[in-house]
């Protein structure tokens, strides 16, 4: 990943989700309260475990995420085999985060 992309990702003051890029770069949750940092792992477990029970094979699915924030759930769907994921959010900052993350090859 180019330095300019990393600089742009790190310039955002707040991240709701933790991302690991394939080059090893980590974009971590930003929170003043340490317990807020743990919510990411809890949400991922609760939501994705439930979805995986109901959708055992994501291969070929097309996913829509309304209120997508920075696209975390879209990236999770793609990682599981969805062929396409579209996210919508009213906050343009979150859309910009998602677009930049897609350039960084999210793991």
Q: For the CA atoms of the chain, what is the radius of gyration?
A: 14
pLDDT tens per residue across span 8-17: 888 998 888 8
Helical pair 3-10 and 92-103, crossing angle rounded to 10 deg = 150
Top-confidence residue, 85 or 41 = 85
**What does the pLDDT read at residue 69?**
93
* DSSP state, residue 15: -
pLDDT tens per residue across span 25-84: 888 888 766 666 677 778 888 899 999 999 999 999 999 999 999 999 999 999 999 999
DSSP string, 46-106: IIIHHHHHH-S--TT-EEEEET-TTTHHHHHHHHTT-SEEEEE-S-HHHHHHHHHHHHT-B
Is the pLDDT at 95 greater than 70, yes or no?
yes
Q: Are 21 and 104 in contact (CB under 8 A)?
A: yes
**What does the pLDDT read at residue 25?**
85
């Amino acid at each position: 990943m180019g330095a300019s992309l990393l600089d742009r990702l790190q310039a955002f003051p707040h991240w709701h989700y933790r991302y690991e890029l394939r080059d090893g770069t980590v974009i971590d949750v930003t929170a003043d309260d340490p317990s807020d940092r743990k919510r990411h792992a809890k949400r991922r477990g609760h939501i994705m475990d439930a979805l995986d029970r109901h959708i055992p094979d994501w291969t070929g699915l097309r996913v829509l995420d309304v209120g997508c924030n920075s696209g975390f759930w879209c990236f999770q769907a793609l990682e599981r085999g969805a062929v396409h994921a579209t996210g919508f959010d009213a906050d343009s900052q979150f859309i910009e985060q998602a677009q930049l993350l897609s350039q960084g090859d999210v793991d």
